[in-house]
Amino acid sequence: MKAVIQRVSRASVTVDGKIISKIESGLLILLGIEDADANADIEWLSRKIVNLRIFNDADGVMNKSLLEIDGNAIIVSQFTLHASTKKGNRPSYIKAAKPDVAIPLYENFIRKIEKDLNKKVGTGIFGADMKVDLLNDGPVTIIIDTKNKE
């Protein structure tokens, strides 16, 4: 499981011209799922994300987590995070999980983040053509791959 985490001042997801999710201060989480991913990846990644100390404290030091600031989140499924660009110029997405595997893991990840934050989070719509708008704060962008957790 790969996640691109962006600290944002604001973010929204639009599908068919309608805003379906919108937040102010918090995290935009782009989530890529592959066939080898499992619930253990969800547990580890959720805990890591909500506790990442990437928000400023009173002294302007990145020392607070999403949990500590009571921030919001939007989670968007993004299979292109598993693109392989080794050969040629057309990325291969062979490592990305097919919907029958990815959708349940995506939904479980959403539920786990909501449980860890004790609040609802915004989402995209799996497989939809989404327009994601954000104002990256910092900018702060972090990439986490559960395959590198050891």
Cβ-based burial of 103 (10 A; exposed 0-12, middle 13-18, buried ≥19): middle
What is the token pair recorded at 108? 């479980």
Distinct helix (H) and strand (E) counts, the chain: 3, 8
Q: 80, 85, 141, 146: which is the annotated catalytic residue?
A: 80
- Is 141 one of the annotated active-site residues of the chain? no
Contact status, residue 5 vs residue 136, Cβ threshold 8 Å = no
- Taking the C-alpha atoms of 86, 82, 131 and 70 in order, what is their torsion angle to the nearest 10 degrees? -140
Q: Which residues does the annotation mark as catalytic? A: 80
